[in-house]
C-alpha cells in the first residue's frame, strides 16, 4: 500500500506542480492515501523587521513572503475542494516555526478542513532558514550553537503540541552534512533528542520518515535509522512516511525505502491521518 504523507503543490513558493498535476500523478501511481502539506511558515506572517530583530539576512526577499497569509489557507481550501474528485486525497499543512508566531498557528489549526498537520522547524527564531546559511563560513562552535538551539526549540514545540507528527527531525543535517560535507558529533544531542521522543510519545504525537534526503546529496532519510530506533525505544508508535515532493516527478519517491526503514526499526504499522485522527496500516 503506497501512501505519501508529505508533499507540496505550487501553493508553496518553492514547489512547481499544481494540485491538479500532483493529484493526476498520485492517481497514476495508484497511491492509496496522499496528503498535500503545503508550507505555512508561521513566522513569515510577521513583517521582516519583527522576524529578524538582529537585521534582515542577505538575500531575504520580504516581498515574496507577503503572500504567505493567503497561500496557506488558500491551499487548504483548494485541496479540500479537490477531495471529492480524488478520494485518496488528504488535506494537510506543514506548519513551520509554530512557536515563533502562535497566533498564525492558531488561525491555521482552527481550519476545519484539515486532516493532518506536520510540525516543522526550518529556522531558529531570528535566523534565516537552515537552507540559506553558509556553514563553510562558520566555525564548528557556531554550527553547534545553532543546532543546540534548533533541538531545544523542537523540544519546546513538542511540549506545546498541536500538530500530528514532527517533520524531518534532522533537517539542518541535509545542508550542514549533505551540502557542506561537514562531519558532526551528534552524540551531544542524544539527551535532548531522547527527551523530544519521550515528549512526543507521551503526547500521542508521531514522527515522520522524510525520504527527501535520499534524492539529495545527504543521501539519508530524515531522520536516519538510529533516531527512528530510539523513537521506538522511547515508546513512539505513530510514524508517517513522506517524500516531501516539491514536483509531480518526485511524488512517492523513496516511500518503499522509508517503509523498509520503519520495518527495520521494529515498526509493524505506518499511519495516515484523516480529520486529525491517526489510522494505522500494517506494513
Ligand atoms: Zn520542511
Ligand atoms: Zn515539506
Q: pLDDT at position 66, please?
A: 62
| Residue 94 CA, ligand 1 centroid: distance in Å | 7
Q: Give the mean model confidence (pLDDT) for residues 99-110.
A: 91
Average pLDDT taken over every residue of the chain: 94
Is the per-residue pLDDT at 201 higher than 70? Answer: yes
Q: pLDDT at position 104, please?
A: 86
**pLDDT confidence tier of residue 62, bands split at 50, 70 and 90:** confident
Q: What is the dihedral of CA 70, 130, 164, 113, to 10 degrees?
A: 10
Cis peptide leading into 48, omega within 30 of 0?
no
Q: pLDDT at position 45, please?
A: 78
Please give the sequence-ordered ranges of beta strands (E in DSSP) within 156-213, or none if there are none: 165-166, 206-210
The closest alpha carbon to 6, from 137, 163, 141, 183, belongs to 163
**pLDDT tens digits for range 129-148:** 999 999 999 999 999 999 99
Please, are residues 131 and 122 in contact by the beta-carbon 8 Å criterion?
Answer: yes
Cell of 166: 514532527
| Residue 168 CA, ligand 1 centroid: distance in Å | 7
Query: Global pTM?
Result: 0.94
Task: Answer with the residue of higher pLDDT: 111 or 43.
Answer: 111
Is the per-residue pLDDT at 64 higher than 70? Answer: no
Q: pLDDT at position 67, please?
A: 64
Is the per-residue pLDDT at 181 higher than 70? Answer: yes
Is the per-residue pLDDT at 108 higher than 80? Answer: yes
**pLDDT tens digits for range 11-59:** 998 899 999 999 999 999 999 999 999 999 998 877 777 777 888 878 7
Q: Give the mean model confidence (pLDDT) for residues 68-75.
A: 85
| Residue 6 CA, ligand 2 centroid: distance in Å | 6
Neighbours of ion ligand 2 (CB under 5 A): 94, 244
- Checking DSSP bridges between strand 33-41 and strand 3-4, what pairing results, if any? parallel
| Residue 171 CA, ligand 1 centroid: distance in Å | 8
Any idea which ligand is nearest the CA of 92? Answer: 2
Exposed, middle or buried, 73 (CB in 10 Å: 0-12/13-18/19+)? middle
**pLDDT tens digits for range 217-229:** 999 999 999 999 9
Query: Does the domain at residues 3-282 carry the CATH identifier 3.40.640.10?
Result: no
Q: pLDDT at position 222, please?
A: 98
Task: Answer with the residue of higher pLDDT: 68 or 128.
Answer: 128
Is the per-residue pLDDT at 65 higher than 80? Answer: no
Q: pLDDT at position 70, please?
A: 79
Residue 65: other Cβ atoms inside 10 A: 18
| Residue 245 CA, ligand 1 centroid: distance in Å | 10
Q: Give the mean model confidence (pLDDT) for residues 246-263.
A: 98
Amino acid at each position: 500500500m503506497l501512501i505519501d504523507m508529505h508533499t507540496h503543490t505550487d501553493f508553496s513558493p518553492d514547489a512547481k506542480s499544481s494540485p491538479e498535476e500532483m493529484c493526476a500523478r498520485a492517481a497514476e501511481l495508484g497511491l492509496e492515501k496522499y496528503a498535500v502539506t503545503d508550507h505555512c511558515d508561521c513566522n513569515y506572517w510577521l513583517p521582516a523587521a519583527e522576524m529578524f530583530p538582529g537585521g534582515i539576512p542577505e538575500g531575504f526577499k520580504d516581498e515574496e513572503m507577503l503572500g504567505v497569509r493567503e497561500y496557506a489557507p488558500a491551499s487548504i481550501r483548494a485541496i479540500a475542494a479537490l477531495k471529492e474528485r480524488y478520494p485518496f486525497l488528504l488535506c494537510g499543512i506543514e506548519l513551520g516555526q509554530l512557536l515563533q508566531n502562535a497566533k498564525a498557528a492558531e488561525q491555521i489549526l482552527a481550519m476545519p478542513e484539515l486532516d493532518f498537520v506536520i510540525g516543522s522547524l526550518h529556522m531558529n527564531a531570528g535566523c534565516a532558514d537552515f537552507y540559506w546559511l553558509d556553514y563553510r563560513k562558520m566555525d564548528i562552535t557556531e554550527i553547534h550553537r545553532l543546532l543546540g538551539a534548533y533541538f531545544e526549540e523542537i523540544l519546546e514545540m513538542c511540549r506545546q503540541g498541536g500538530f500530528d507528527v514532527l517533520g524531518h527531525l534532522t533537517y539542518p543535517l541535509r545542508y550542514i552534512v549533505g551540502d557542506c560535507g561537514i562531519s558532526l558529533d551528534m552524540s551531544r544531542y542524544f539527551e535532548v533528542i531522547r527527551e523530544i521522543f519521550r515528549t512526543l510519545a507521551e503526547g500521542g504525537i508521531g514522527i515522520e520518515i522524510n525520504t527527501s534526503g535520499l534524492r539529495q546529496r545527504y543521501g539519508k532519510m530524515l531522520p536516519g535509522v538510529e533516531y527512528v530506533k530510539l523513537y521506538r525505544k522511547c515508546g513512539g508508535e505513530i510514524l508517517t512516511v513522506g517524500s516531501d515532493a516539491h514536483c509531480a516527478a518526485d511524488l512517492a519517491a523513496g516511500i518503499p525505502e522509508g517503509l523498509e526503514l520503519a520495518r527495520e526499526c521494529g515498526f509493524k504499522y505506518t499511519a495516515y491521518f484523516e480529520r486529525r485522527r491517526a489510522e494505522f496500516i500494517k506494513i
